[in-house]
Structure 1
Amino acid sequence: MKAIQYHRFGGPEVLEYVELPDPEPGPDEVLIETTAIGVNFPDIRERLGVYNRADTRVGGVTLPQVGGLQVVGHVVRSGSAAHDYLLGRKVMALMANGAYAQRAVARADMLVELADDADDVAMASVACQGVTAYLALRVCTTLRRGESVLVHGAAGGVGSLAVQIARMLGAGMIIGTASSDDKRAFALSLGADHAIGYDYPRWPETVLHYTEGKGVDVILETIGGEVFDQNFTCLGMLGRCIVIGSTQGPGEALAPRRLMAKAQTLTGVYLPAFFQRPDMIQRALHFLRDGIAQGMIRPTVAARLPLSRTADAHAMLERREARGVIVLDPRA
C-alpha cells in the first residue's frame, strides 16, 4: 500500500510517499481501506516533534511514523470474529496515528458505521475536531438549553464545529471570536449570533454588553496568551471555561481563588486522554454522523488533495491558508 511516513522531525519536506506492507489488525481492531483522510493541526505538531518535548507532557511519537488521526473507508479485515459484522461496511474512524495510508488500522470501539451514500469527504473532515468540540460541550461541561457560550477561534476547525454543535444543543446565545472580518462573517454564517475580534483590547466589555452584564455561561478557550486571563472578566456566575488549546501560548497562571468569587469552573480537553473512554468517543462520532446527515452540521472542507501531496496540505495549514479541513484522497 502507499502511505505517508517520516523518519525524522522537521518541516513538510520530511514527509515521504512510500510503499509499506498492509498493517495487521489486532484482536480489537479492523483494517480499513481508506477513501478519504482528514488532516489536522495535531498531525503537524507530531511531525515537528513538539510532543516529544518533556515540557508538553502529552506523550511522544515513535519514529518512523505514519501520521494522521481520522479516516473514512470500508472495513476489509477484522482482527477477531467478534467484529466480522463490520466487513464491507463504510465507517468513520478516529485513531492515534496511521491514517495517512491506503489501508489503516482502527479500534473497533472508536469508529461508527456510515450509510453507503454518506459523503466520504465531509465525514472524513470532522472526526478529530468535531469530537473535541462535542466533548468540550457535552462531557467536560454540559451546555444546557438557553445558556450562552463564547467560542474563541470560531472560524477554525474546532471552533466552527463548536458553533454548530452549540446551536444543535439549544444554546441561547453564541458569541464567536475571530481575527478578521472575513472569519467573523464566516462564524455568523455558521450560526453565531455575534462575532467579535479577540485582538480588540476591550472585547470582554462587548461580551458583557451582549449578555446584559451577566457574562457568558460557557467559554471554549483556544487562544491563550492574555486572552486566557481576559476570559474571566466576562465569564458569568457558575460559568465554565474549557481550555482546548492556546495558539498564543499559555498566558499567566490563574490564581485558583479567583474562581471562588463567582463559583466558576476551569477544565480542559485533550482528545487522546479520551481514548481510554471509547464510549464517549463513540457517542461523539454518532452525534457528528447524525448531525451531518440531518444537515445541521456543515463541514468546511478547504481542499481535497491526493495522498501523495500530504506535504502540501501541511504547508497550507501552517501558512493558515486553509479555512476548514484539508482532506486527502488515497486513491488519486
Structure 2
Amino acid sequence: MRVMQAIRHGGPEVLVPAEVPDPVPAPGETLVDVEAAGVNFADVKRLEGSYQATPPPFVPGSEVVGRTADGRRVMGFAQEAYASKAIVKQPVEVPEDLGAGESLALLVQGLSAWHLLRSAARLSPGETVVVNAAAGGVGHLAVQLAREFGAGRVIGTASTAEKRALVLELGADAAVSGEADGYAERVAEANGGRAADVVLDAVGGPVFEAALAAVAPFGRLVTYGSSSGQPPAPVDPGLLTQRNIAVAGYWLGGSLHLPGVTEPLRDLLDLTVAGRLRPLVGGAYPLTEAGRALEDLAARRTTGKLVLRP
C-alpha cells in the first residue's frame, strides 16, 4: 500500500512516499480502504519529535474515513493514517451524503470542542465564551457549539479581517484580533465592558497570559495547546485565588481511554446532518502532498479541516 513516511525527525520535508505491506488487523480491529485521512497540528509536532516521539521511519496520522471490506463507510482513530489502507478501532458509520472532510472535522476537532465546553469549561447557559483562533479546526466548531449549548454571547479571535468575517458568519456575536497586546480590552469592549466567563485557548505564550487577564471572577480559562510555539507561562496560584478564577487543561488523546468520551460523536454527526453544525474543510491534498498540507497548517494559512486523499 502507499504511505507517506517520515524518514527522520524534522519539518514536513522529511515525509517521502513509500510502498509497504498492507496492515493486518487484530481481532476487534477493522481494515479500511482510506477515502481521506485527517491532518492535525499534532502531526507537525510528531514529525519534529516533540509529541509522542516515535523512532523513524514512521507513518504519521491518527484518523481516517474509509470503506470496510463489506462496503460500510466508516471513520475512526487509526495509527499510521497517512496511507491508502489503515486499521481502525471502534469504527463509526458515516452517512453517505456527508463529505469526508466534514466527517473528519468532527472526530478530533469536534470531540475536542465538545469536551472543551462541556467537560473542561462546564459551560452554563447565558455565559460569555471567547474562542481563540476561532477560524481554526477546533475553534470554528467551538464557536458554533457554544451557541448550540446556550452561551449568552460568543466572541471569536482571529488573526486577519477575512478570518474574523468567517467567525461572524459561523454565528459569533463579535470577532476581534487575537494579538496579545490589548487582548483583555478588546474582549471587554466586545462583551459590553465585562470580562468573559470562559476562554478557550490553544495559542499559548503571551496570548495565554493576556487571556488570563480577560477572565471574569469565577470564570474559567481552558488551555488545550500552544500553536504559537512559545514556552508556557507560569500561573501564579495566588492570582487565581485573588481573582476567583480557574485554569483547566484538556487533551482529547489523554481522555480517549475513559468511558463515554467518544459518545458525543453521534450527536455531532446528527447536528451536522441537520444543518445546525457546519464543519469547514480548509483543503484536500493528494496524499503525496502531505508535506505541503502540514506546511500550510503550521503557517496558519488555512481555516477548518485539512484532509489527504490517497
User: TM over 0.5, yes or no?
Assistant: yes
The partner residue of 1:101 within 83, 86, 95 is 83
- The two structures, once aligned, show a CA RMSD in angstroms of 1.9
The partner residue of 1:181 within 137, 158, 161 is 161
The partner residue of 1:266 within 240, 244, 247 is 247
Structure 2 regions of 5+ residues with no counterpart?
Answer: none
Contact 2:140/2:170 (8 A) holds in 1:
yes
Cα-to-partner distance string for 1:31-82 (whole Å, 9 max, x where unaligned): 122111111111111112122xxxxxxx322432111121111223xxxxxx
Matches within 5 A, 1:202-213: 202-213=182-193
Partner of residue 324, structure 1: 304
Provide the rounded CA distance (Å) in 2 between the counterparts of 1:142 and 1:124: 25
Structure 1 pair 263–26 and aligned structure 2 pair: CA distance change class (3 A): farther
Structure 1 residue 142 corresponds to structure 2 residue 122:
yes
Partner of residue 55, structure 1: none
Query: One-letter code of the match for 2:104?
Result: A
Partner of residue 88, structure 1: 71
Partner of residue 273, structure 2: 293
Partner of residue 61, structure 1: 54
Quick check: 155-164 or 125-134, which moved more? 125-134
The partner residue of 2:109 within 129, 134, 143 is 129
Q: CA deviation at 1:278?
A: 5.4
Provide the rounded CA distance (Å) in 1 between the counterparts of 2:227 and 2:300: 12
Partner SS, residue 302 of structure 1: strand
Partner of residue 159, structure 1: 139
Provide the rounded CA distance (Å) in 2 between the counterparts of 1:316 and 1:212: 36
Partner of residue 33, structure 1: 33
Partner of residue 279, structure 1: 260
Structure 1 residue 75 corresponds to structure 2 residue 68:
yes
Provide the rounded CA distance (Å) in 1 between the counterparts of 2:280 and 2:55: 31
Provide the rounded CA distance (Å) in 2 between the counterparts of 1:208 and 1:311: 40
Structure 1 regions of 5+ residues with no counterpart?
Answer: 52-58, 77-86
Q: CA deviation at 1:300?
A: 1.7
TM-score by length of 2: 0.92
Cα-to-partner distance string for 1:16-39 (whole Å, 9 max, x where unaligned): 212111112222321122111111
Q: CA deviation at 1:325?
A: 2.2
Query: One-letter code of the match for 1:296?
Result: R
Cα-to-partner distance string for 1:88-127 (whole Å, 9 max, x where unaligned): 32112123x311111111221xx42122332223212332
Partner of residue 12, structure 1: 12
Structure 1 pair 256–303 and aligned structure 2 pair: CA distance change class (3 A): same
Q: CA deviation at 1:192?
A: 0.9
Q: CA deviation at 1:232?
A: 2.7
Provide the rounded CA distance (Å) in 2 between the counterparts of 1:65 and 1:130: 26
Partner SS, residue 138 of structure 2: helix
TM-score by length of 1: 0.87
Identity over aligned pairs, percent: 38
Provide the rounded CA distance (Å) in 2 between the counterparts of 1:284 and 1:62: 34
Contact 1:304/1:329 (8 A) holds in 2:
yes
Q: CA deviation at 1:213?
A: 4.2
Cα-to-partner distance string for 1:176-198 (whole Å, 9 max, x where unaligned): 11112111111111111111112
Query: One-letter code of the match for 1:5?
Result: Q
Contact 2:102/2:305 (8 A) holds in 1:
no
